[in-house]
Structure formats: structure tokens, C-alpha cells
Amino acid sequence: EKPLVIALAGNPNAGKTTLFNAITGARQHVGNYPGITVERKEGCVTCGGHKLHLVDLPGTYSLTAYSQEEVVAREFLAHERPNAVIHVLNASALERNLYLTVQLLELGAPVLLALNMMDEARAHGWHVDSEKLSRLLDLPVSETIARTGKGVDELLAKAGEYARENTTGEWKPLTISYGPDLDPVIDEMAQTIERDQFLTERYPARWTAIKYLERDDAVLEQGRKAGDTAHKLEELAKRVAEHCRATLNMDPEAIIADYRYGFISSILKQGVLTREDRSERIM
């Protein structure tokens, strides 16, 4: 039986390595990604009679090519198509951490959330309704305290089950709106990309279109190998950027970030994240 592959993704310091160690114990292997110094940590466990192969991805804040780590993480996801991706979040900084969740979902990855550092979140007076978050994002959510091992077994069971449901390698990208200035352009670019086999080999068309607007260096460079289509996309992206700067005094990149945070806050505001009134306890 081929083991199911489960990747761990998350911001640096969210507790990925602690969680990875809690799950795999001593059964792990540390190496490097070929040709670069980014560490690659892997381990195997059996859960519910199934073999699971876990990969601890490098810590990243986004999936745009700002750093080698981000390129490694997204290429791993796109090329190796893990059966599940555990996104480890620092629950005490939920809003900021969900920024990566949105990008993982836009890629189409089968994501489940580990709301880690629940002890920290509680100590800061945050109340997180993880069931509501699970319903609104339509994905499994677990609460964990990786440092003490709390919730880790439940998370692993959920991840194993989720991985078993995702064995076709067919991913379903989330579509969010980027507003009236960008949505029509993204659609137009995605249609152009869709017609080019080379450009749709790894990433969803809409995802690539957004990357052109974000001026993602790795995507631009890769696209140039496709020739004409990429040139057209770059020209279009340039015109849109000029338009956004002239009318909104903003780069497309900033507009995209704003809409992602808008999407996140619209979810959190539906009762997912509340702050306890601690005035009584302060006395």
C-alpha cells in the first residue's frame, strides 16, 4: 500500500516542527531540497491502519515568490500534490495566519487547519469558534497545543481521514473576488492561460493570472519559456498596474492583499473570533 502524503504548512513559529515531532517522534528523516539549503523533514506514521508520510514544509507567510522557502513550499504542493495539507496556525494571531490559508485554498490544496497555540490564544482572551470556522471555510479544523501534545491525536486522525478522501490529485481552487478593477482582468488572463498547455501544467489558471498581477518573479520567469502568451500577459498586467496606480494610487499587489484580508475578516466577524471581556478578572 502506497502511503498517503500529508504536508505541514504554516507561518514561521506557528509550531509546525513541534507538531511534526509530536506526530512522528523519532521516526523522521532530515535532508535538503535538491540544490538548495532549505531543510526537508519527513516522517512516517500509521494511523487507523493507514500509512501516512508527513512532510514538514518550510515556514512561509505567503505563496508568492518573495523567498526561496515560499517557492519550495508551493512547488512541493503543486508538483507532489499531497493528499492533505495541515495548515498549522498560531491561534493567537488568527487573522494574520489565515492569510496563508486563503492562498493555500486558492491553489486548490486539500487543506485542514490546526489551530495551534490555543493556550496562548486563551491567555490573551481570544475565543475561537472552530466549528463555525470549519463550516464557513468548508474544511476540517482541529484545536491543538503542540507543546503539550493536546489535540494532536485527534488532528492526525482527521488528517488521515481527509487524505483518504483526496486520492485523485484533483484539486478544487477557491475563487475570491478582487473587486471591480481586477476581477474582469483576472478572468480575461485566466482564459488566455487556460488555452496554453505549458502555463496550466502545474498551477490553476486563475492562480497564475493573480501571480502575474502580483509580479511574481518565478512565475514570470517560467512563463517566458512559453513565449508569446506570456508576453501578452505581462503587457496586460503592466497596463492594469498603471491603471490601478493612476486611479486608486495602489499597486495590484496591495489591492489583492486588501481583498484577501477582507475575505478573512468577513469570516471572523461572523462570530468565529471574539474577545472575552476580562475586566472582571483583572481585579
Give the binding site for Mg ion (CB under 5 A). 16-17
Closest CA to 183 of 150, 206, 158: 206
* CA 247 vs CA 69, 212, 240: distances in Å: 34, 20, 10
Over its C-alpha atoms, the chain yields an Rg (Å, rounded) of 20
State the minimum distance, in angstroms, from the CB of residue 33 to ligand GDP.
Answer: 16
Q: At a CB cut-off of 8 Å and minimum separation 6, what does 136 contact?
A: 267, 270, 272
Q: Does 43 bind ligand GDP (CB under 6 A)?
A: no
Closest CA to 9 of 66, 64, 68, 84: 84
Terminal Cα-to-Cα distance of the chain (whole angstroms): 59
Closest CA to 252 of 200, 205, 187, 183: 183
Is 55 or 182 the residue whose CB approaches Mg ion more closely?
A: 55
Identify whether the C-beta of residue 63 lies closer than 8 Å to the C-beta of residue 70. Answer: yes
Identify whether the C-beta of residue 99 lies closer than 8 Å to the C-beta of residue 71. Answer: no
Q: Does 140 bind ligand GDP (CB under 6 A)?
A: no
Is 96 or 147 the residue whose CB approaches ligand GDP more closely?
A: 147
Q: Which of 54, 100, 145, 159 binds ligand GDP (CB under 6 A)?
A: 145
Identify whether the C-beta of residue 68 lies closer than 8 Å to the C-beta of residue 76. Answer: no
Interface positions, 56-75, toward ligand GDP (CB under 6 A): 59
The partner in contact with residue 89, picked from Mg ion, ligand GDP, none with C-beta cut-offs of 5 to 8 angstroms by kind, is: none
Q: Which of 14, 155, 163, 273 binds ligand GDP (CB under 6 A)?
A: 14
Is 17 or 90 the residue whose CB approaches Mg ion more closely?
A: 17
Query: Residue 174 in 3-state DSSP?
Result: coil
The partner in contact with residue 158, picked from ligand GDP, Mg ion, none with C-beta cut-offs of 5 to 8 angstroms by kind, is: none
- Name the segment binding ligand GDP (CB under 6 A); options: 6-14, 27-35, 190-198, 217-225: 6-14
Query: Residue 80 in 3-state DSSP?
Result: helix
Phi and psi torsions of 31, nearest 5°? -140, -160
State the minimum distance, in angstroms, from the CB of residue 279 to ligand GDP.
Answer: 24
Q: Which of 116, 192, 208, 222 binds ligand GDP (CB under 6 A)?
A: 116
- Measured distance CA(155)–CA(189) in Å, rounded: 38
Strands 50-56, 111-116: pairing kind: unpaired
State the minimum distance, in angstroms, from the CB of residue 58 to ligand GDP.
Answer: 9
- Name the segment binding ligand GDP (CB under 6 A); options: 10-18, 63-71, 96-104, 207-215: 10-18
- Binders of ligand GDP: how many residues, by CB under 6 A? 16
Q: Does 146 bind ligand GDP (CB under 6 A)?
A: yes
Q: Does 16 bind ligand GDP (CB under 6 A)?
A: yes
Q: Does 147 bind ligand GDP (CB under 6 A)?
A: yes
Q: Which residues bind ligand GDP (CB under 6 A)?
A: 10, 12-18, 59, 116-117, 119-120, 145-147
